[in-house]
Chain A
Amino acid sequence: MDQTRRNVLKAGGSAGLLALLATAGMLRSEAALAADWNQNAFGAKNLKDAFDALGAANRTQSADIAMVAPEIAENGAVVPIGAVSKIPGTESIAILIAKNPTALAASFDIPAGTDPSVSTRVKLAQTSDVHILVKANGKFYETKKEVKVTIGGCGG
């Protein structure tokens, strides 16, 4: 039961690992991040505006996007969302929360030759559809799933 990465990190000290990740290019500097920031999309107050700002007004529903998301969030403040695209030529993957005050939660650029698989934690203000938007060869593809945020209690 103790062979978890948490314990390995505790044992090994985490500073060394972070340095390793940075060296390997897995952590980018702030300057690099700022250059790609799409203020219009991240500032959009609703789902439609966010899609428009991403240039994704026209989208095709796709079964080739696998979304990993809970049906019911254990904690609406940190909901693990993942996406894997099997669409050839995937250039970017974005996560949008329909009912959040700002719909676009994350956008990942996928450099050529990279496995198009991402995961992160997002905050859900309330029960909402979560959309995954994939850009591949200049076209947009989408899948969605409802994630419930509940008061809890009363079970079992």
Chain B
Amino acid sequence: MNRREFLHVIGMAAACGLPLAQFSGRAHAQNAAQFYDLPRYGNVHLLHFTDCHAQLRPIWFREPNVNLGVADMAGRPPHLVGEALLRRFGVKPRTAEAYALTYLDFEHAARTYGKVGGFAHLATLVKQLKAGRPGALLLDGGDTWQGSATALWTQGQDMVDACKLLGVDVMTGHWEFTLGAERVRQVVENDFKGKIDFVAQNIKTADFGDPVFPPYVIKAINGVPVAIVGQAFPYTPIANPRYMVPEWNFGIQEETLQKAVDAARAQGAQAVILLSHNGMDVDLKLATRVRGIDAILGGHTHDGMPAPAIVNNAGGKTLVTNAGSNGKFLGVLDLDVKGGKLADFRYRLLPVFSRLLPADPGMQSLIDKVRAPYAARLGEKLALTEGLLYRRGNFNGTFDQLILEGLMAEKDAPIAFSPGFCWGTSLLPGEPILMEHLMDQTAITYPYTSVTGMTGETIKIILEDVADNLFNPDPYYQQGGDMVRVGGLSYTCDPNARAGGRISAMSIRGKPLEAGKTYKVAGWAPVAEAAKTAGGEPIWDLMARHLRGRKVVKPLQLELPRLKGMQGNAGIA
């Protein structure tokens, strides 16, 4: 893969255009065939989706306008937003692709191009691509069994069944583990048996360090043995409750990974793919240090990247991709493997436009069946939003602002914290907020709300701790996820500063926060096991009550920190 070939890949990202008229009216197989006409290349084909967060139906999803890169990652993909991202990848503004990849002109673009994702529409796309790519494998990067009401209420069973019907071949995980180790085992040993391989070389038992899942699986694609190695989210027991997976260790284990890659090669694999839930910054670093991986198909950080990064290492080159979130995208990697090694490749990140892709009848009927028992609960109208509601972004989103306001009001607390989750769908102005939409923001297995007395010093320690998880200059010390959302408290953040020195000028209603004074702080999603039995009201009950009382949500003013040293950073607009 030389520079010329790389430019060719970038060019391809800009090539797909389609008249606007195709986006109005009913989805039509002919439109899909035209828009998604992707000539087959090479002999090894991999289809990849990741971080769909259990969104079975088409949704809105606004991409972030703040996704800061620091240190070596400043100004580099994936830390580009809006026009900077379009320029970098040669995507024309005001097109369907620009709508899928950026926040630009979101409301207007959403109404023009329609909802994205949805498993019935994804199924049609997968079938179309598989028809033109015999032997293609479908890979699921994880964060699949969590993120919706039905996934929570069925313990992920709706997604397990949908993935089997979709034809997923190999999977790794992250939020899956928040259903508990036993539930994951149950699915892998029963539902998935003989159908879907769950791989994760970096999960070991805490006692003896024995592998919990197979590290990799080798599948023949058109006669070429291809290894799919699994890398689960390395910081699951830290970012999520440890008590869900008490007997498993995770982490970034370069040596274990290198051994798995070498073993797969020794076993005859002619191409090695890492199906990763590391997050893109971690994958980019990993690719410089581990040899023998042809491509890392990545997720976790929800970065819809139209072209792969090509990373040099001691063993050659490794492609690194990230395929967005919420079912918006399907990554298509075609490899030409000749004489036992990779000769060349083509990669495309295809947006899943529900107005172009007709729903697959079989998948649609499964989705309808899954939802039927919950229809009344899902459809309860809680309030109407007059402004755009979204979550994604480094510091805050309007849906999180709404949650912060709800927490402060319902708990009578002057300060609120809400976790920096990256999932959660969007709502357009004028739409009703249904129970289903509230669950899209809150459906987790540890939803407890609480009010805690915290000193000013503790509050600073928490903000510094989360900021370091986001802005540590070494990606291996980052956890992905965004900054904790903060209501009632203003502060200054200097992402380039060292750990412990990023947060300053903290004030509450115009008064400086006092280190020794205790403040009431409302919050939700505690990772400590004690919170499980403390009896905290689930966040969705609290917010449903708040919304029913509020009836209409006027456009919200975001509480955002003042930023230092970020002028000119391409990750903020």
Contact = CB atoms under 8 A, between A and B. Distances in A.
Interface of A: 1, 3-6, 68, 70-75, 80, 127, 146, 148, 150-156
Given A1-B185, A1-B212, A75-B242, A151 B462 contact: yes
B316 to A, nearest CB: 23
A152 B208 contact: no
Contact of B238 (A5, A6, A80, A152): A152
Contacts of B249: 74, 80
A154 B481 contact: yes
B239 A4 contact: no
A154 B484 contact: yes
B480 A155 contact: yes
A3 B238 contact: no
Contact of A71 (B420, B461, B477): B477
Residue among A71, A72, A150, A156 with the highest chain B CB neighbour number at 10 A: A156
Nearest to B209: A80
Interface in B472-491: 472, 474, 476-477, 479-481, 484
B205 A152 contact: no
Contact of A155 (B188, B207, B210, B238): B238
Tell me the dominant secondary structure on chain B's binding face: loop
Given A74-B250, A155-B235, A150 B175 contact: no
Interface string B189-206: 100000000000000010
A5 B207 contact: yes
A5 B210 contact: yes
Given A71-B474, A156-B233, 9 more contacts: A6-B208, A74-B237, A74-B250, A75-B237, A80-B249, A127-B499, A150-B479, A156-B422, A156-B481
Interface of B: 143, 174-175, 185, 188-189, 205, 207-208, 210-213, 233, 235, 237-240, 242, 247, 249-252, 255, 300, 419-423, 461-462, 465-466, 468-469, 472, 474, 476-477, 479-481, 484, 499, 525-527
Given A1-B185, A70-B251, A152 B527 contact: yes
B237 to A, nearest CB: 4
Given A1-B185, A80-B249, A74 B238 contact: yes
Contacts of A3: 210
B477 A154 contact: no
A146 B474 CA distance: 11
B208 A5 contact: yes
B238 A156 contact: no
Given A1-B188, A71-B252, A127-B499, A154 B239 contact: yes
Contacts of B233: 156
Nearest to B470: A154
17 contacts: A4-B208, A6-B247, A68-B255, A70-B252, A71-B252, A72-B251, A74-B251, A127-B499, A150-B479, A154-B419, A154-B484, A154-B525, A155-B238, A155-B239, A156-B239, A156-B240, A156-B479
Contacts of B423: 156
Nearest to A154: B419
A152 B461 CA distance: 12
Contacts of A70: 251-252
Contacts of B477: 71-72, 146, 148
Contacts of A5: 205, 207-208, 210
A156 B207 contact: no
B490 to A, nearest CB: 19
A153 B252 contact: no
A153 B463 CA distance: 12
B465 A150 contact: yes
B198 to A, nearest CB: 9
B467 to A, nearest CB: 11
Contacts of B462: 151
A72 B188 contact: no
A127 B462 CA distance: 14
B147 to A, nearest CB: 10
A3 B211 CA distance: 9
Contacts of B235: 72, 155
Contacts of A151: 461-462, 465-466
A80 to B, nearest CB: 7
Contacts of B421: 154, 156
A102 to B, nearest CB: 23
Residue among A5, A70, A71, A154 with the highest chain B CB neighbour number at 10 A: A154
B205 A4 contact: yes
A74 B242 contact: yes
Contacts of B175: 156
B189 A1 contact: yes
Contacts of B420: 154
